[in-house]
Amino acid sequence: MLERPSPNREPRPDGAAIDILVLHYTGMRTVEEALVRMCDPASKVSAHYCIDETGTITRLVPEDQCAWHAGQSWWRGYQNVNARSIGIELANPGHEFGYMPFPAIQMTALILLSSAVTRRHNIPRRNVVGHSDIAPSRKQDPGELFDWKRLAAAGIGLWPRSTNEGDVEDVHMMMETYGYQVHEEGAIAAFQRHYRPGRIDGVPDEETAQLLAGLLEIAD
């Protein structure tokens, strides 16, 4: 693991539990551009870790301090997600600069790092989220090409159990129960980007309801 300390950090509030893991993509042309930006005091952004396309991990902020990665966000009633989360950036050009699949070696490194982080802090599996899950009106990352199912198979995050249960009229209620801020624009599309990446239309349809019901059956 490489070390590249970022000044963009602050102490965690007294008593704040670390119980959320947020995954991002850098959304920049190169990983070096992203690292420079996350170490620039003027940018006011950072993350705890960054993983490049070859699987090399760089630590920027110690886990016992806040990194500035979540911004205005919400998850399960928590508005200051930075205060209680670990942020991991994955080098990827993102939707603006030529979004592409995440290399297998990068995903393997992410699984190893995330496994250690979630065990160290006893992070619930339902609290392993993407930036778009906690800020759906602003963010799309890590995006529809990210392999959430593979992560869940490794014990990181959740993947819905197959079920025929779930009513369309209950979609918003189930989303709120799971953790989303449902009245925020783009919340349903964010859920679909995570759990139904083949069709992201923001429509609360039967399949979306069944996916939510399947998640709630196994949510910790």
Set 89, 165, 184, 217: catalytic member = 89
DSSP-derived secondary structure letter, 137: T
DSSP-derived secondary structure letter, 39: T
Cβ(81)–Cβ(24) below 8 Å: no
Verify whether residue 165 is a known catalytic residue: no
Span 41-98, pLDDT tens digits:
999 999 999 999 999 999 999 999 999 999 999 999 999 999 999 999 999 999 999 9
What average pLDDT score do residues 112-116 get? 99
Q: How many whole angstroms separate alpha carbon 193 and alpha carbon 191?
A: 5
State yes or no: pLDDT of 123 exceeds 90. yes
Pairing of strands 9-11, 65-67: antiparallel
Q: Which of these three, 159, 190, 209, is where a domain ends? A: 159
In the chain, the amino acid numbered 166 is G
Q: Are residues 13 and 26 in the same domain?
A: yes
Q: Which residue has the tokens 């420079």?
A: 36
**CA-CA-CA-CA torsion sign (183, 216, 131, 68):** positive
Domain span at residue 136 reads 2-159
Q: Are residues 134 and 179 in the same domain?
A: no
Q: Which of these three, 140, 159, 178, is where a domain ends? A: 159
Q: Which of these three, 144, 159, 174, is where a domain ends? A: 159
Q: Are residues 169 and 89 in the same domain?
A: no
Q: Are residues 68 and 11 in the same domain?
A: yes
Structural domain count, the chain: 2
Span 155-211, pLDDT tens digits:
999 999 999 889 999 999 999 999 999 988 899 999 999 999 999 999 999 999 999
Q: Dihedral angle at the C-alpha atoms of 195, 197, 203, 205, nearest 10 degrees? A: -60
Per-residue pLDDT, 183: 86
Q: Are residues 16 and 65 in the same domain?
A: yes
